[in-house]
Every structure is written in structure tokens, then in C-alpha cells.
Structure 1
Amino acid sequence: MPWPTGGTSDYVLFTEGDDLYDAMVASIRGARRSVDVETYIYAADEVGWRVGAALADRARAGLRVRLMVDAAGSMGSFSRGLERYLRRQGVVVRRFHRWSWRQPSRFYRRNHRKLLVVDGREAYVGGFNLHRESSRSAFGPRRWRDTHVRLHGALATRASELSEAFWAGERGGAAPTGTQDGDALIPNHSRICRHQVHCLYDRLLQSAERRLFVTTPYFVPDRRTQNELVRAAQRGVDVRLLLPGKSDVPVARWAARATYGTLLSAGIRVFEYQPRVLHAKTAVVDGVAATVGTANLDYRSFFVNYELNLFSANRGLCTALEEQFRTDLGDAVELTAPGWSRRPWGGMIAELVGRTARRWL
């Protein structure tokens, strides 16, 4: 079930795709002026067509409805048939950074944001894509494990501004602005900082005094971020990483495992989530500060892709994320330094491949 977090900021946390998609469709159908969607993966399946029907309904009613899908992320999943249907109903559709022989390098820079904004008053951001793999009703008990959050008020207005700017081709974005609580919705590029999410993420790690819980599906940290994790553990912080035991990108898992020796020897506790593909991207510090959004702890999210993260000091949201983290640990296996040192040679070779490819993941 979706989890209202309470507090002075109005957040609802989603960890089940069906709950999220129900809420998104209801919000879209309740729109009165505009609907804007950005997503990395949009699949022409049960989930995609259901959301598409809601978008088409609002477009037929005369609202401004815009959809931006990433050309690389949705390649092979966002069908021409679904695209034609949406366009015929009045939805404005764009494929972000299509392949071009004149500008081949831009295909590498992707829009990894997952954002829905309705009427500038309600917004959804997080890790969920629009595909059946995240739906229990469509995919079954092996659906992906992910996290999303719904925003209202000033942060929803901020989401609308960011979406509008991105649609207009303004990739830098304005300097970060927050609510009275200090919460902020942050893209990773602004006019004053090219790697904004990376800088704020490292600041979050530096602030940890007691405990630091990180969940990420693609853990390929740059040296600076890895050093911040190690420093936190060395100053006595309980640092725990929840990483995938199963991955949709095996080479990314190999690259993550190449860091385990260093992390474990520093006293960082590493857990691998077992039952399903882990796709959530969250971090909580001392139960008082957190981030949830689209950015992974890897080179692509920090330095290449366009991302969007909520940074929050909302106690309700922090508590909800901490409790979900502890619940997920119940489905994870903890690795130990002695056990890791005895891993098979085949695993070490895979790690070498992952380490070599880490900057491209």
C-alpha cells in the first residue's frame, strides 16, 4: 500500500507498482489543465497502454498532454503503434535524443528522469518506469522492487517548472530552490553546477553521524563517492548498502562486486537483495535526511544522464524509507570479508570485466 508520510510536507511513498500506477492514472484522469510525463522506459504492454489510455482521454478533452520518452531506454519497447495512437488522440510525443549520424554522441546522454506532473499541483518522481516488470498483477511475484514518491505544493510547482524548462530545451535548469522545510527537487545539471546530484549526494554522506542506509540497483561509484562511504564507516557510522543479488544488467553487478573488498575491509556492511530485481534508489542518513529519485550511484547517473532527485528532511519520509530498508534486509544476504575473500576465480574475472567497463555503465 502507498505510505502517507505525514509531517509538514505532503508526501506519499510507493513501493508497489500497481499502487503507483493506480494513483498515477487517477491523477491523470483528474487533470483539468495539463499533464506532462517524462520516462526512461515506456513499454507497449498492460501498464503502458493503461497509462496511454488515460493520457489520450485527457488530450481528447482538450488538455495539453505531453509525453517524452528516452530514445535509448524505450528502444524496442515503445512501439510505433502506441505512439501513433497517442498522437492521433492529441498527445504530443517526443523521443529524447534519437540516434543521429550527425550527432552520435548525444545518444549516449539519456533522459533517465521518471516524472509525472499534473496541473502543476501534483507530481510523481522516483525509480519506477512504465512497464509490466514493475506490476505484480502483470508480472507476478517476481516484479521489480522499486520506490517512488508523490509530491504536492511547492515541490510540485518546482517539478512543473523543471519539466517545462526541459521540454523547452533548457537542460541546465535553475539553481536549486527548496521549501520552507529545506526540501528540494534537484536535477543533476544546473547553470551553476554540472553535477548537482553528485555534489549533494556526497554532502549527504558527509553529514552522517550514526547510520547511513543506501539502496541502489547499479552501484558503480566514482572514487570520491567511494571514499566518502569509507570515511563514514571509519568515523563510526553504521554504513549499510543494499545492492542487487539479481540484476537486469549483469555487467553492472560485476562492476559493483569489484568494490566489495575495499568496502568490507573498511567495515561497511554489504547486503544483496535476493528475491527480485532491485531497482530502488534511496538513501537515509541518521533518520533525519534522505534522498529518493532516479539517480543511481554510478558514473552515468552522476556525470552523463539527466536525473531528478528529491532531497528531504521530512521525518515521516525518512522514517518510511528507513523502515522499508530494514524490511528489505529481511530478504537479503549479508556478505562478509572472510567469505568474500574465498569467492571463486570466475567471479574475480567477471569483476575485472565490470571494473574495466564501469565508466560506460
Structure 2
Amino acid sequence: MTQITRRAGLGAMAALLAAPNLARAQTPTIRIVVPFGPGGSTDAVARLVSPGLQQRLGANVVVENRSGAAGSIGADLVAKARPDGQTWLLTFDSHSTIPALLRNPPFDVLKDLDPVMLIGGSPYAVATRPDKPFQTMADVVAAAKARPDGVSYGSTGNGTIGHLSMIRLGEKAGARMTHVPYRSGGLAVNDAVAGHVDMMIGSAALMLPHITGGSLRPLLQFGPQRLSRLSETQTAAEAGFPGMEAEAWWAVFAPHGTPAEMVNRMNAALKETLSEERARTVMTETQQARLVLSTPAECGTFFRGQVETWGALVRAANIQPD
């Protein structure tokens, strides 16, 4: 009798120990694919929302970085994933230029991915290392005119709105600069801080921590008015380049055919997460970003306009992928 009782006790203990493992095995895992390397603003947004999504969706949320080819490698992974609500894309503005940038895109950005939410945006800014000889953008233009292609700038990749904005600025100023594309904002910032490029263009969200910390000096911002944390830095219009507003943006997409109820549930979870005080403060104050938190339909309308607007510039400038 004692032996039977002992066996029963051991069996019950084993069941108790196994229960948490069984629960974990049954908890679904959701992948948030970021088509850029770690350290950039897109990666930061994905990691900011992950805890809130995990709580609201009742799933393990994993951020997966898949960089390369202007974000098309990671986006293609999502486009070809099963539309079962387990895989999502959180991407950047270069997503809109893929059709014009790549000769034979592996997927159709408008047909193979369904819009979920336009999270928001942040004006682009140009900054340089403090010991570089540039105090304003006028200094950069003068140096570039004196030494065509002798002034370099980094960006988060070919075909990003930041890259396209610098092309437009160079054309308006009559100055040629050398573009150095990177696979992520983190890599671009690191090289700008190290002085390997003369300056870089990135979203204010990406640049502000380095500007505030003193490792970069701002030269120009592309918003309609000065950001509160860049109050001493000229806008493009103030610097003599009217009509040069440019904003980085982040959006979420799902594999085409993902059921509407899943898309709406993710949209709601994102909205609730980014409406929390901490997340909203990080986005709007720390990173000076503009939150939109759109509906799926609004995201689709916005994205189609971006594909048309920036795709035309990519084709006109004959920009090639990284």
C-alpha cells in the first residue's frame, strides 16, 4: 500500500512539473519580421510593441530581423508565409519603393501583403559628427560643390525616402554627394558616429538619442516645422529648399488572405499598446514621432500613394538596390 501511494505521489509530482511545459508548448508564437538589422528605428518600434502584443494576443511574440535588398528579403518571407495570423511584417518607408527599385521583385507589395496599420512617422534629419567641418547644410553644399562626390552621407539603404530626399536636395542645390547605403539604421549611425561617413540622414526617431548624447550634431530637418527637441536646427524650407518635406514611417502588413478578424485583432492590439502612456511617450516625446494608428483601410490608401510618389522618383533617378 505504501509503495502504491509513493508511486501515485511521484506521478502527481511529475504531472505538476510537466504542466508548465505543456502550457508553454500550447502557447502560440507570433513572429514580427523586421526586414532590417538590429539597432534601427524599425527594430526599436517592433521591440517597443512586442510586450504589449504578447499580453493582448496571448502569444509569445518574437522579433525576427531579416535584412537585405531594401527590405524585400524580410517582406518576401512574410508574403510567402501562411495567412494564419502567426507571421506579420513591421517595415519602413522603403517598402513603398520595392516595385521600382527591384527589376524582378519576388512578390507584389500591393497584392501579396495586406495592410494592417500605419503606425506613424518621424521627419528625416541630417546630422554629422561634431568634429566634422560642417555647422549648417549650407556648409555641406559648399563643400560638395567644391569637391563633387567628395562629401559622403550614409542612409538606411538605397530607395529609402531619406536617400531619395538627399538626391532631390543635391539636385536643387547643384551639388553631388556620395551615398553610402547601410542595411539598418543602427549600422549607419555607428559609422556616422565613428566618422566613416561625413554625415547621415535618418529619421529623427533614430538620430535624436545620438544628437542628445552629443555624438552627432544636427544640420537639417525635413519636417514642416522644427521639432521641439531640434528647435535650433533649420527645416529644409528655412535652409532654402521649399517643398522638401520628408517623413520616415512604419507600418504593419500581413500575408495576403489573412482573415479580417485576425487583422482587426492585431490592429486593435497595436492601437491599445501604442496608446499606453509609456509607449506613447517613447514614440512622441523621446523619439519625436507622429503617431497615426490607422485602420487597415487607411493604411492601404496611404501606402498606395507612397508607392506612386516615391516609385516615380526611384525610376527617374535610376536607383539600383544595395
TM-score range, shorter-chain basis?
A: under 0.3
TM-score with structure 1 length normalisation?
Answer: 0.24
Larger radius of gyration: 2
Bigger relative contact order, structure 1 or 2 (CA pairs below 8 A, ≥6 apart) = 2
TM-score with structure 2 length normalisation?
Answer: 0.26
